[in-house]
Chain A
Amino acid sequence: MALLQISEPGMSAEPHQHKLAIGIDLGTTNSLVATVRSGMSTVLQDEHGRSLLPSVVRYTDNGVVVGHQAQAKQSEDPINTIVSVKRFMGRSMKDIADKAHIPYRFVSNNTSESMLQLHTRAGLKSPVEISAEILKTLKTRAEKALGGELTGAVITVPAYFDDAQRQATKDAARLAGLHVLRLLNEPTAAAVAYGLDNAAEGVYVIYDLGGGTFDVSILHLSKGVFEVLATNGDSALGGDDFDHRIYCWVLDQIREQNPNKNPLNEEDTRLLLTKARQAKEWLTDNDEAQIIGKLSDGYPIDVILSADTLIELTQNLVNKTLSPMRKAMRDAGLALSEIKGVVMVGGATRMPHVRHAVQDFFQQEPLTNLDPDKVVALGAAIQANVLAGNRSDEDLLLLDVTPLSLGLETMGGLVERVIPRNSTLPVARAQDFTTFKDGQTAMSIHVLQGERDLVSACRSLARFELRGIPPMVAGAARIRITFQVDADGLLSVSAREETKGIEASITVKPSYGLSEDEITDMLKSSFGSAEAEKLARALAEAKVDAMSIISAINIALVQDGQLLSDPEKDEIQHSIQSLEQILNTEDSHAVHAATAALNEATGNFAAKRMDASVSRALAGKNIDEVDFK
């Protein structure tokens, strides 16, 4: 395997050098990759000029096939050809309704709460591994098109994805060898692409109905600032459900014609689901669709589905999107008259009855002047370009929110809310708790996500224990639990006993996510078994990391060195030199340690720079208001 390329120190992070960054829309039905080239966000195509990569992964005897080729075999080899894997990300068996009509061999992993797996010819595969195959294909496409090593990627997720689903997505990217710059909410990405393209200002609604997920976000757009006011949705509602309704209708037709028809096998199920999807798409511009096919036992299918029947079958799915819209509007505290535009995103918004419902709700015609399949990837690429440090002319700032409330289990199976939904990220909240019994020395902490008051109605994210609480009478101890949600929307929780200072902290992932060991194992198997190769890669990554930090600090010293005293500067220089010396060795642990030491040494400098840049930003504009001291 080729090593990552490293340029001379100071060269790799030249401020003006264009870094290769991509935006990936990892969709339920299709996935895309885009990048900003000569100031324009563009979707990258494969060697046949196709933009969309069907999110289909097939395990064959000769390896993995992704995309169109896999899709072509889905009815022939349904068990080994995984479509819509996004619906299983961060999900356990009990989350999946109607397993009988999904042609896979599900396997429950360890406990009922952990992520499900699929049994394929290549063995057990987790949704994370399957998604990583899609990401790898897009990564390769981007590297070929751009001709170089990628700095990183922004990967989009449905805004209504919970912590487990986000963590699973990030794990998949890591498995695919991508450096994740940010997880970005799909409707926010769409707003960026739409907003910049149309110089939109004011309050906009993004209605995003994809293959498997529904999001509605309300944003305030103003001079390059995209502020999410509220978001809501349903992470298990999308175009797939429309296909499924049609599929059930076809089954009913068959049974009506022939009550003794044999049950369908997996091939038949996949065939009919595919036919259902095609009929649905056809009905966007036509009044009738003919569904013709032959089942594996030779039984012929020939039925006509009218547009009116489609509406009848699926209107209640469309209506399911109304409640999240109402909730988001209420949370944003807005009247319909304040909405300047409604942008339609996702392939399923092509259906006329979906458009009508949105129009009726918002009392205005929705905006459909952009490609609903591409807009998310285009927005992600714009954000990736900015995050990688390729400064664009206009400053872009995204202020997103957490979609679901976060809380803790308290007495009686009730949830105490710590961070309410629609809080702007990043956000941190601390709450104090106390002991229930005299002499209690441990406390079990159960972290939950959701809007209901009962623990059983919320999603369990993690459980951990704080031990070593000094024995006291009930109610005397003070346990401070802090929740921090970062800019990716990922939660970490720490607990601290205030009188003795005992601490416990975790980054939330255990219940549904993969353990660190599982990831390491998957990385091992995906990089091949050669130990030397793994070590080489770890070393190369550590070195790249170290170099980029050194050059970032060098640039900072040039810009803001005057903030430091000479001894302070010397200390930083010294740390840089020791790291540079270690870079000549082949010891990745030493590189990590020296990098950490350099980070430690620059903590104070970072704080000073931050204060200085904020003062600069606020200076000059409000001298009349600074008279309070």
Chain B
Amino acid sequence: MNENYFELFTLKQCFVIDLTALESHYRQIQSEAHPDRFVTASSSEKLKSMQLATLANEAYQTLKKPATRAKYLLTLNHIDATQETNTSMPADFLMQQMEWREALEDYKVAKDVDGLENLMKEMQQMASALTNELNHLFDEKNDLTSATATTRKLIFIDKVCEDIHKAITQIED
């Protein structure tokens, strides 16, 4: 079983990947490996099927999203982007972080779904700018130090998006 997610899907190990190929290779692997194919098989085959199908799901979800893909690429290069010692973040981004967090709290208290939706859009724009930056840093410059910093920002943005999502759900409940 191939533990490297890129190799599992026969994709080149880089940040910009062919998402259509990722999806179709993922489906091909599940077509072979999914536990539904092994309902009447021996228990050793069932176990292997469960392991490979689980791995394929995990690998697919990781490579599909830019933030998790970037973090995974760094892991393959022995860099843990979320390690606590890895706290370097530029001051202006830290300021911005605080502003977003405050805005999120204000909208949440005011139960302002439109405000949250707009904040979400802003986050998504920010995320796509950071993703473009990563294309450049990983694949063209191979500058892993800068890529780590940008990945940390992207992970942060993802976390804010998740919290916005949660806040909207709670308001609508």
B128 to chain A, nearest CB (A): 14
Q: If the complex has contacts A225-B27, A552-B40, are A628 and B48 also in contact, measured as CB distance less than 8 A?
A: no
Q: Which of chain B's residues have a CB closer than 8 A to the CB of A327?
A: 169, 172
Q: Mark B41-70, 1 if CB is under 8 A from A, else 0.
A: 111110111101110011011000000000
Q: How far is the CB of B49 from chain A (nearest CB, A)?
A: 7
Which residues A369-423 have CB closer than 8 A to chain B? 383, 386-389, 395, 397-399, 423
B6 partner residues in chain A, CB cutoff 8 A: 628
B103 interfacial contact with A, CB 8 Å:
no
A397-B27, A603-B44 known; A625 vs B32 contact (CB < 8 Å): no
Asked whether, in the complex, the Cβ of A387 is within 8 Å of the Cβ of B36, the reply is yes
User: A543 at interface (Cβ–Cβ under 8 A)?
Assistant: no
Of all chain B residues, the one with the shortest Cβ separation from A629 is B7
The secondary structure that dominates the B interface is helix
The minimal Cβ–Cβ distance linking A607 to chain B, given in whole angstroms, is 5
CA A241 – CA B96 in complex, angstroms? 49
Residue contact A326 to B31, C-beta cutoff 8 Å: no
- Stretch in A75-83, A242-250, A523-531, A610-618 touching the partner: A610-618
Which residues 420-434 of A have a CB within 8 angstroms of B? 423-428
A339 at the interface (CB under 8 A from B): no
CB pair B54–A426 under 8 Å, yes or no, is yes
Q: A599-B43, A600-B44 are in contact. Are A628 and B7 (CB under 8 A)?
A: yes
Stretch with Cβ within 8 A of A (4 or more), from B9-17, B132-140, B147-155: B9-17
User: Shortest Cβ distance from A174 into chain B, in angstroms?
Assistant: 16
Q: Is A237 an interface residue (CB 8 A)?
A: no
With A399-B30, A603-B44, A606-B48 as known contacts, state yes or no: A388 contacts B54, CB within 8 Å. no
Among candidates A487, A553, A618, A626, residue contacting B28 with C-beta atoms closer than 8 Å: A618
The listed residue (B40, B58, B169) touching A427 by CB distance below 8 A is B58
Q: Which of A323, A383, A397, A602 contacts B173 (CB 8 A)?
A: A323
Q: Which of A389, A548, A625 contacts B10 (CB 8 A)?
A: A625
Contact B172 A323 (CB under 8 A): yes
Contacting residues, chain A, for B165 (C-beta < 8 A): 330
Q: Which of B42, B49, B169 has a CB less than 8 Å from the CB of A598?
A: B42
Q: Which of A330, A388, A399 contacts B169 (CB 8 A)?
A: A330
- Please determine whether A397 and B11 come into contact, CB atoms closer than 8 angstroms: no
Check: A139 CB closer than 8 A to any chain B CB: no
- Given the known A-B contacts A424-B61, A426-B50, A610-B1, are A602 and B33 also in contact in the complex, defined by CB atoms under 8 Å? no
Is B48 a contact of A607 with CB atoms below 8 Å? yes
Interface string of A250-278 (1 = CB under 8 A from B): 00000000000000000000000000000
> B9: which A residues are within 8 A, CB to CB?
618
- Which of A387, A389, A606 is within 8 Å of B47, CB to CB? A606
Q: Which of A386, A427, A486, A606 contacts B44 (CB 8 A)?
A: A606
Which of B7, B11, B32, B36 makes the CB contact (< 8 A) with A398? B36
A625 touches B11 (CB 8 A): yes
Chain A positions within 8 Å of B, measured between CB atoms, are 13, 151-152, 181-182, 225, 323, 326-327, 330, 383, 386-389, 395, 397-399, 423-428, 484, 486-487, 548-549, 552-553, 556, 596, 598-600, 602-603, 605-607, 609-611, 613-614, 616-618, 621-622, 625-628
Top 9 nearest A-B pairs (CB, nearest first) are A603-B44, A487-B35, A606-B45, A617-B28, A606-B44, A387-B39, A613-B32, A606-B48, A599-B43
Instruction: List the interface of chain B (C-beta within 8 A of A).
Output: 1-2, 6-7, 9-13, 18, 21, 25, 27-36, 39-45, 47-50, 52-54, 57-58, 60-61, 165, 168-169, 172-173
